[in-house]
Structure 1
């Protein structure tokens, strides 16, 4: 076991800490468990608190371009208020639930390139020393896995995944950032979109699935983004028609915005054919048009409708090849290595 000594305000003779997480990946909303192992330094210290921080590498878009930083998205006190003698060894067990919106870092054991960590902070003599930092592996919930499995079965291919600082307008998002999983379109959709982005916003009752298509432009029109939200209950994740349902979501996502454009063109020529078009700024007359847009990382003004609230079973074959097969392992290793070398100066509040 390698202990990581706390330097800084405590000096070289301070205590050392090593946090060991329970083996295996955790699901969003699931219990994160493990033990914090302490070894006393050259003198006796009072450990006022032991706090675990969940941190993420997050991208932020701004006028000058993009930047990256470390965001703390959860803190949990797991112990404290005891004396640690010189050279004394002590272990503090812990278990607490992850936030429901914790990003997914892997799928079937393969990394998606999203980097999360658990950092240990000791409060000693009024000072806070950040010591141990360990990688955190998060696997998808059954409903999230069902969506990704279906996309793989439909022929969508994995492109990249990242965390974006900002809020999805009109949603119940709790964290200061959201995850985007970017996919190469299935062959049947390559003439209609450049890529598909998937965002999961999980909660105790289910998962909101945000789909955003980067649509290709036509002969007389430029490309744009089409965005919709669909709700999946946790209890629905065992249904067998998952790929069919997701394919229907994508078709409705594209057709709804196409209908809006067609109606707008008719209005421009004074022709109205008696139906209410989808308006990305006002919603849809049939109840599909709740406001929904990115803020902080995307242009404002996106809207979507809360589409069909169903989920389908996981277990479709071909996901590892279809969705995860495009990941370049070397890039993931470099990104993880840079993050866990420590980069506190870029930390966001």
Structure 2
């Protein structure tokens, strides 16, 4: 029996867990429901703790270039403190609240190329079994969808979405990374910007929208970034003219009313959200121009952002990244 338990602690003949998520895609700040299906090993085991961990594939910039890695961003204890008999089957339901800043992975059912996972860990007396890793699908909040739809109505096209390691200063950001949705400019703004990046920082009280435009340089000057921040409410989404509001935001950026600087840590000025709040934006950790990143989705900008994503092609690298993330998890888990 002691030998069996030793083998179990090494992952041989130990208990196993299969995590089944329920209810489809979850929204940021929403409740994730599921069940844990445990099967006992070849001996009795004391299950000390069952943990769920949200993880994301995140890009990080450093002096030598850019790398990608798996970053955990939330952890929940959902069970433990019981003995699982040899061969016993047990089901444990769970309901956990995901962070408000959880990145969006799909729009209208189409993947954006952002990869999130839910890792289940069993802490067994004498060892730890990493358990299960399942893909996590997150759909946008109504306010997020309204803003993206408005960009589409204005003629902006979806270019890519990725997760960047770092913190946007001057905001209420809680997670160690932030999501960027990169858009190609609408024809009427093509002269004023090469692309625009949208970041949502949601919270229970509302949502910050950070816009960054890559502005082309003139004959004797290099290009620069212009950044504004706007605050919107989760309430009254359907009563607002989002197309006009977002157009106003973009006009401020195009006209240079947002602050700007070179690709080094710097401060930005005030972004005014049509009476919905404003604030100073210190964007010190963000000083790059990312090209088509992880999971580029090609879409037709003229057809509108939402329509473009739905009708676009998902590049092969999206599938590769998803596969690598989940298939390669054992290796990464050993390192951590």
| TM-score normalized with structure 2 length | 0.85
The residue aligned with 1:18 is 18
Which of the numbers 309, 314, 324 marks the counterpart of 1:338?
324
The residue aligned with 1:78 is 78
* Cα distance, 1:345 vs structure 2: 5.2
The residue aligned with 1:57 is 57
Does residue 99 of the first structure (1) align with residue 99 of the second (2)?
A: yes
| Alignment partners' CA distance in 2, 1:234 and 1:285 | 19
The residue aligned with 1:4 is none
The residue aligned with 1:35 is 35
In structure 2, the CA distance between the partners of 1:38 and 1:298, relative to structure 1 (3 Å rule), is: same
Where structure 2 has 5 or more consecutive residues not aligned to the other structure, the ranges are 1-6, 289-302
In structure 2, the CA distance between the partners of 1:166 and 1:79, relative to structure 1 (3 Å rule), is: same
Give the conservation status (yes or no) of the 8 Å contact 2:155–2:187.
Answer: yes
| Alignment partners' CA distance in 2, 1:47 and 1:197 | 45
Does residue 117 of the first structure (1) align with residue 151 of the second (2)?
A: no
Does residue 247 of the first structure (1) align with residue 247 of the second (2)?
A: yes
In structure 2, the CA distance between the partners of 1:285 and 1:9, relative to structure 1 (3 Å rule), is: closer
Where structure 1 has 5 or more consecutive residues not aligned to the other structure, the ranges are 1-6, 262-279, 300-316
Residue aligned with 1:336, SS: helix
Deviation digits for residues 158-203 of structure 1 (CA, Å, limit 9, x no counterpart): 1111000000011110000000010111111111111000000000
Compare relative contact order (CA 8 Å, sep 6+) and give the higher one, 1 or 2. 1
Give the conservation status (yes or no) of the 8 Å contact 1:14–1:41.
Answer: yes
The residue aligned with 2:222 is 222
Does residue 291 of the first structure (1) align with residue 280 of the second (2)?
A: yes
Is 48-57 or 331-340 further displaced after alignment?
331-340
In structure 2, the CA distance between the partners of 1:204 and 1:285, relative to structure 1 (3 Å rule), is: closer
| TM-score normalized with structure 1 length | 0.82
Residue aligned with 2:168, SS: strand
RMSD: 2.6
| Alignment partners' CA distance in 2, 1:197 and 1:329 | 20
Give the conservation status (yes or no) of the 8 Å contact 1:155–1:322.
Answer: no
The residue aligned with 1:135 is 135
In structure 2, the CA distance between the partners of 1:163 and 1:8, relative to structure 1 (3 Å rule), is: farther
| Alignment partners' CA distance in 2, 1:298 and 1:79 | 42
* Cα distance, 1:218 vs structure 2: 1.8
* Cα distance, 1:322 vs structure 2: 3.4
The residue aligned with 1:268 is none
Mapping of 1:180-259 within 5 angstroms?
Answer: 180-257=180-257
| Alignment partners' CA distance in 1, 2:271 and 2:280 | 13
Give the conservation status (yes or no) of the 8 Å contact 1:58–1:68.
Answer: yes
| Alignment partners' CA distance in 2, 1:258 and 1:131 | 48
Deviation digits for residues 126-167 of structure 1 (CA, Å, limit 9, x no counterpart): 422211000000000000000000011111111111000000
Structure with larger Rg: 1
Give the conservation status (yes or no) of the 8 Å contact 2:227–2:260.
Answer: no
Give the conservation status (yes or no) of the 8 Å contact 1:157–1:324.
Answer: no
* Cα distance, 1:290 vs structure 2: 3.9
In structure 2, the CA distance between the partners of 1:85 and 1:244, relative to structure 1 (3 Å rule), is: same
The residue aligned with 1:309 is none
* Cα distance, 1:319 vs structure 2: 3.8
Give the conservation status (yes or no) of the 8 Å contact 1:21–1:33.
Answer: yes
| Alignment partners' CA distance in 2, 1:285 and 1:231 | 9
* Cα distance, 1:36 vs structure 2: 0.5
Give the conservation status (yes or no) of the 8 Å contact 1:47–1:83.
Answer: yes
